[in-house]
Amino acid sequence: MDKPLRILAVVNVPWDPRLGAARVWIELAEEWRKAGHHVEKFCLTDAFPEPAPSPAVAAIRLLRFPFRAARFIRENSERFDVVDALVGTLPFSKKSLGFGGLIVARSVGLYYLYEKFGRVAAKRWTPMSKGKLLGRPFYWFFNWRARAASQASVHHCDLLNLPNSDELDCVRNEIESAKPAIVQPYGLRPECAQALTAATAGPEQRWNNKKVIFLGMWSVRKGAKDWAGIIRQVRSRVPDARFLFLGTMIANEKVWNDLALEPADFIEVVPQFDPADLPRLLSDGTVGAFPSYVEGFGMAVVEQLAAGLPTVAYDAPGPRDILANLPQLLVPAGDATGFGEAISAILTADLAHYRELSDRSVETGRKFSWPDIARETAAEYRKYLHDAYG
């Protein structure tokens, strides 16, 4: 049991660090390998090497992925001690897989909490179109299958790996599962944390800039419908405040439409960027802003903290754990007015207060380190692996 672990990562997206789910395994695998463990992966492009010719085929491939992953494990069951699989990608019993090691179902955003938000969002805002009428049965079927696969993978796994305490509470009290579970956050590679901190401009310059930065995809879940009110609230108190939306991954027209604004010189939208440029892009920001209603974790918050940006977030799964020692940065979910007030309070605080809050932000961001998390996770896997083999 003291030998290096042989770990298989299973995830139904391409092995691309620009994709949040894949990034978790890619960066964990890097640290595990440094510690001497053997790590392999089975991802979407391993199951289906050729590009999907259409969105419909891409969706069907996601439904077929678990069967391809299961076949790979059956054919290679003796080569691994641990299968670390995204929830929903391995909805089969260990007996059917012919695998005697530890099967971990890893959440990067628990389906149950995301569905709960979806129901609330549908009541509060006009639901997004689900395509043409003929396509709606397929949409319903796809989501039903995905939900069933997620439930089955939770039922059949040996261990749940959850990224935040709200998910553990949900598993115990709402899903009512007694499945063994650990809570392990995500982290930054040391070189990334260092680059973010090193690129940061001096606190006086950032304090003078009055620049608010949102980092993340533009979606209702991440607060797209709240930003118009947030901007109005901030600009009413800080007229020279500016805003930067980074990595929206959507046409700029959609952003402006949600903001109910014409393009304005105090707002910059950057749909995509090279991850290597993130330290530079965050370097002159004053405040981070993350009005997301539910997250698996919320790496954008950690990255902005590491760059010295006090980051205001909704008091929601993910950010709630990250900002536990900075509760003044948490605002009740959906309170756009309170969110704007919290940003404005930082923008109008004196320099000494801002400097102190910025320093505390850096300290908080650096607590989330992949080497530490990888080591602790491997230790937990060893413990449960002993029980699995036993």
pLDDT attached to residue 134? 46
| 187 in Cβ contact with 26 (< 8 Å) | no
Give Cβ neighbours of residue 278 (< 8 Å, ≥ 6 apart): 196, 215, 246, 303
* pLDDT higher than 70, residue 133: no
Q: What is the CATH number of domain 190-366?
A: 3.40.50.2000
| 365 in Cβ contact with 193 (< 8 Å) | yes
pLDDT attached to residue 126? 76
> H helices within 217-368, ranges in order?
227-237, 252-259, 278-282, 299-306, 319-322, 336-347, 351-366
DSSP helix/strand/coil, 117: helix
| Cβ atoms < 10 Å from Cβ of 350 | 8
If one compares 9 and 146, the residue with the highest pLDDT of the two is 9
Q: What is the mean pLDDT of residues 117-145?
A: 73
| 313 in Cβ contact with 298 (< 8 Å) | yes
Does the pTM surpass 0.85? The reply is yes
Identity at 208, one-letter amino acid code: N
DSSP helix/strand/coil, 211: strand
* pLDDT higher than 50, residue 188: yes
Give the model's confidence band at 139: pLDDT under 50 very low, under 70 low, under 90 confident, else very high: low
Q: How far apart are CA 66 and CA 87, in angstroms?
A: 11
Domain ranges of the chain: 6-187+370-389, 190-366
| Cβ atoms < 10 Å from Cβ of 36 | 10
* pLDDT higher than 80, residue 127: no
**DSSP-assigned letters across all residues of 153-201:** HHHH-SEEEESSHHHHHHHHHTS-----EEE----B-HHHHHHHHHHPP
Exposure string of 179-206, with b = 16+ CB inside 10 Å and e = fewer, is: eebbebbbbbeeebbebbeebbbebeeb
| Cβ atoms < 10 Å from Cβ of 51 | 8
| Cα atoms in the Cβ-side hemisphere of radius 13 Å centred on 149 | 20
Q: How far apart are CA 28 and CA 34, in angstroms?
A: 10
Q: Is there a shared CATH topology between the 6-187+370-389 domain and the 190-366 domain?
A: yes
pLDDT attached to residue 229? 97
Q: What is the mean pLDDT of residues 147-172?
A: 97
Percent of the chain with pLDDT over 90: 91
Q: How far apart are CA 81 and CA 5, in angstroms?
A: 6
pLDDT attached to residue 142? 78
If one compares 115 and 135, the residue with the highest pLDDT of the two is 115
Superfamily covering domain 6-187+370-389: Glycogen Phosphorylase B; (3.40.50.2000)
Q: Are strands 330-331 and 311-314 parallel, antiparallel or unpaired?
A: parallel
* pLDDT higher than 80, residue 387: no
The mean predicted confidence, pLDDT, of the chain is 94
Q: How far apart are CA 239 and CA 253, in angstroms?
A: 24
Q: What is the mean pLDDT of residues 157-176?
A: 97
Q: Please state the separation of Cα 355 from the chain's center in Å.
A: 28
Q: How far apart are CA 260 and CA 256, in angstroms?
A: 6
pLDDT attached to residue 131? 52
pLDDT attached to residue 49? 97
pLDDT tens-digit map of 282-331: 999 999 999 999 999 999 999 999 999 999 999 999 999 999 999 999 99
| 326 in Cβ contact with 288 (< 8 Å) | no
Q: How far apart are CA 40 and CA 132, in angstroms?
A: 40
Q: Are strands 38-42 and 181-183 parallel, antiparallel or unpaired?
A: unpaired
pLDDT tens-digit map of 350-378: 999 999 999 999 999 999 999 999 999 99
pLDDT tens-digit map of 29-65: 999 999 999 999 999 999 999 999 998 899 999 999 9
DSSP helix/strand/coil, 17: coil
Give the model's confidence band at 181: pLDDT under 50 very low, under 70 low, under 90 confident, else very high: very high
Token readout for 132 is 């043409």
DSSP helix/strand/coil, 207: helix
DSSP 369: B
Q: Which residues pair with 104 in a beta bridge?
A: 84, 159
pLDDT tens-digit map of 239-264: 999 999 999 999 999 999 999 999 99
Q: How far apart are CA 34 and CA 115, in angstroms?
A: 37
pLDDT attached to residue 18? 83
Q: What is the mean pLDDT of residues 203-210?
A: 98
State the Cα angle at 332 between 210 and 125, rounded to 5°: 95
